[in-house]
Chain A
């Protein structure tokens, strides 16, 4: 086939890139070769726009066993055990076909884990959708958007659940947020974590010239062709025509593949192994060769095929799921075949390892592709794309807007006094889809299979025991796109800090992170600027907390019809609980326990859920993270937990202190709800910043300050409860750690009562608050 400029453009390659291909090959590429280049040089596979920046992330640490560049990162957790974990996006396919897109996202990340030799023991996911509640949008057109968003969400959740459930991995946690910008660009980031003995780790390396290359797993079909390329471009109104690029998942095959791979690994039959994920046969063969400094030659006639008549181009670009490429130890080929046969899976020797550092593909007696590995991997284009900071928004005083809105709300609900009004605001925040209970979601995930889940979904972090040791693992996903949209660097810093705080609240020492960076088109300078800022923000806080980056994933082009998403970095934090007995949850445990607040409450109303939900503004200054204060608070909390003093610990985040208090009161897994009586000391009341410029004038700022105290989102705060006898010891620990600590109330009663210096601000039975919090998602989604 003659390669025309139209064909080159269809492959999403620029003229310069095509020129470079010709230069690297010293000739015109064949059609099959062009296809191979187009996927390997796609943004999704090559990281061509991000690589220059990702280098700035810290990847060194005492716990590190395997950093970025392999199928998953690996850290050492002691006693000879290692953890492989990673997060990956499946945003584009999930928009086109929510159920299969999400399901295959889980399949892909699970394979990344078990290719390393690790048995997957936990999954999580981070999701973003457009609004699902009628009242969060305006007008008739947007009503249609709401119903589509609901369909997408229901499909994604079912897809994630069905795949993980059947595979047999517990989905133990995650996060779900809603904002307009995700209506046409939902985000589905799938996380998985596995356990492996240090000496049993496997790598994606094609070592040993002459070794057999074995294809295992499902047959190759015509599905998913150009999936990686599809995920490397914006969508337009014809997006749905790309549906055939989405793959179909089969968790049953994947489960068999897992068991067969682990069995073959234990049998000592495998030299190297890699998942055929994005760009399938192409990426697995050239990357394994590149990592080992060898080459791979394969014969496509031998590849198990789902249908006759497939071309070399189709087979090399197919993204059919549940397939792996294995390099077998010489003399062990038969053993590999037998093990896979036992599990009723295809295992076919399709080629061998060569010494010429090339990917050579034969089909019907001809060499249809012959490309140096380096041309597809290290020599792929790299771009330092132009960046431009958007103009800084005019500093403005949002105070009057807030007060006006509160006045209107007071009239609307006939609130006679501030206390009624504050209670109403709390109720509305609890019912906000961003804060409301996610029980509707995680009830559809088997979160208990493998019987390791010690802290079930709903607390700050999920906790899994490691049966073979005294240790437990805590894990959390965090990211706040709204913060990042206003200040990407600060938003990224806060995401890392919050993820660490969440695992600390569970009693764990933060160990390392994985990350998924979701952005719009890198070809827009302001997006690239936000990306660069985000990387720097993550790098800074990871360095400060001593939590290196083990790997991750970048997803660009989350943009439809010219509208992009908020910059949305998602941080997956892994922590280790040294002694499983110190596992802590967010829920209050016993009446009479004293509630303390670690950290300082400032007047941070900017960018808050309060501002977005109640006032309808996504504006203001993002709260600033003070790293010294953050580490002090985390240290104090962890020391308190490890000293056996802390009965509950909960991070104050979305919706601020009042929401955190309510969540501490709610019922959970066979434990009834309990009330709390809070009297906030006057000196705790902050002065509002971040929603106005100066000068800071007093009244009517009084109400604003109260709002900030209850609903402001100052970071670096943890609400803990302790037995009354332990208050003093806890205060001493906090002081020594350099963290502020104040007694704010006690557990007890059936209501949540919050007062400031004796004056009531909130008073409502916990049962009512909990009902509101539980109702939102079922109301929107059970139709």
Chain B
């Protein structure tokens, strides 16, 4: 099993993600330079958080043109597992692997704080070890996390069970007050139709060790590792 964490110029959660996979989950992982085009040796690709290309122009808008992204799109089309965290989510939307866009936060400010998200779907490779309706505490840290899509897409996402995480209160109620950034329908994370690509704004890698106040985010990585194990078994 091997994870690849893509490093764009301006990525800054690459080390954190690498740390969790290697030290907490205990799986092999490489940094993948954004100019690298060969990524078929990996079982999962993670686009980490940060400010790729300074997020100038628009978040993720330049990163999507990085050479590695052509390979990531191809990798995803062939069923490879792709996880986009924060800036990674923004890039996945820009490159078209996920629908919708992430707008500036409702209050126009950067927000860094712990939030609660409810696991809406457990039949994805990213949430399989979670319980449906389980509340995870994870931090957000973004200025543009306000998820938006048109009504048709929203209906599609809902109908196809592709809304994977929703912002909620500690008791799991999806309320307006629990929505930190104005995201439509409290959406914190979605997956593609084939369920092998997930994007989310909260940072599971920042909530994977008790010392940091929450280990709930570990479940995302553990799900991913379990899914890869399954795949490898099938392939063997």
Does A pair with B? yes
B77 within 8 A of A: no
The contact string, 1 if C-beta is below 8 Å from chain B, for chain A 251-275, is 1110110000000000000000000
Within 8 A of A (CB), among B128-179: 137, 139, 141, 143, 170
Q: Is the CB of B211 within 8 A of A580?
A: yes
Q: With A448-B141, A454-B212 in contact, is A252–B9 under 8 Å at CB? A: yes
Inter-chain contacts of A167 with B (CB < 8 A): 12
Q: With A251-B54, A252-B56, A450-B16 in contact, is A444–B206 under 8 Å at CB? A: no
| Contact count band on A | 20 to 34
A657 to B19, CA, bound (A): 42
Q: Which of A165, A253, A344, A670 interacts with B137 by CB under 8 Å?
A: A670
Q: Is the CB of A443 within 8 A of B211?
A: no
Inter-chain contacts of B206 with A (CB < 8 A): 448-449, 451
Q: Which of A250, A450, A451, A467 interacts with B54 by CB under 8 Å?
A: A250
Q: How far is the CB of A271 from chain B (nearest CB, A)?
A: 26
Q: How far is the CB of B198 from chain A (nearest CB, A)?
A: 20
A251 to B20, CA, bound (A): 26
Closest B residue to A782 by beta carbon equals: B107
A168 within 8 A of B: yes
Q: How far is the CB of B138 from chain A (nearest CB, A)?
A: 10
Stretch from B38-46, B95-103, B110-118, B182-190 that touches the partner: B110-118
Inter-chain contacts of B111 with A (CB < 8 A): 443-444
Q: Is the CB of B16 within 8 A of A451?
A: yes
Q: Is the CB of B110 within 8 A of A344?
A: no
A670 to B139, CA, bound (A): 11
The contact string, 1 if C-beta is below 8 Å from chain B, for chain A 157-197, is 01001100111100000000000000000000000000000
Q: How far is the CB of A687 from chain B (nearest CB, A)?
A: 44
B79 within 8 A of A: no
The contact string, 1 if C-beta is below 8 Å from chain A, for chain B 25-51, is 000000000000000000000000111
The contact string, 1 if C-beta is below 8 Å from chain B, for chain A 240-253, is 00000000001111
Q: Is the CB of B112 within 8 A of A443?
A: yes
Closest B residue to A447 by beta carbon equals: B112
Q: Is the CB of B214 within 8 A of A446?
A: no
Q: How far is the CB of A151 from chain B (nearest CB, A)?
A: 15
Q: Is the CB of B141 within 8 A of A446?
A: yes
Q: How far is the CB of A483 from chain B (nearest CB, A)?
A: 32
Q: Is the CB of A444 within 8 A of B141?
A: no
A711 within 8 A of B: no
The contact string, 1 if C-beta is below 8 Å from chain A, for chain B 80-99, is 00000000000000000000
Closest B residue to A453 by beta carbon equals: B212
Q: Is the CB of A444 within 8 A of B110?
A: yes
Q: Is the CB of A252 within 8 A of B53?
A: yes
A445 within 8 A of B: yes
Q: Is the CB of A168 within 8 A of B9?
A: no
Inter-chain contacts of B110 with A (CB < 8 A): 158, 161-162, 165, 444-446
Q: Is the CB of B9 within 8 A of A448?
A: no
Q: Which of A253, A256, A443 interacts with B113 by CB under 8 Å?
A: A443
Within 8 A of B (CB), among A11-58: none
Q: Is the CB of A449 within 8 A of B211?
A: no
A465 within 8 A of B: yes
A313 within 8 A of B: no
Q: Which of A446, A467, A669 interacts with B19 by CB under 8 Å?
A: A467
In the complex, given contacts A167-B12, A449-B49, what are 12 additional A-B residue pairs having Cβ atoms less than 8 angstroms apart?
A: A165-B110, A166-B12, A251-B51, A443-B112, A443-B113, A445-B110, A448-B141, A449-B141, A450-B16, A451-B19, A451-B20, A451-B212
Residue positions of B touching A, CB distance < 8 A: 9-10, 12-13, 15-16, 19-20, 49-51, 53-56, 107, 109-114, 137, 139, 141, 143, 170, 203, 205-206, 209, 211-214
Task: Pull 26 A–B residue pairs with CB atoms less than 8 Å apart, ordered by A.
Answer: A161-B110, A165-B51, A165-B143, A166-B12, A167-B12, A168-B13, A250-B54, A251-B51, A252-B54, A343-B9, A442-B112, A443-B109, A443-B112, A446-B141, A448-B112, A448-B139, A448-B141, A448-B206, A448-B212, A449-B49, A449-B206, A450-B12, A450-B15, A451-B206, A456-B213, A465-B211
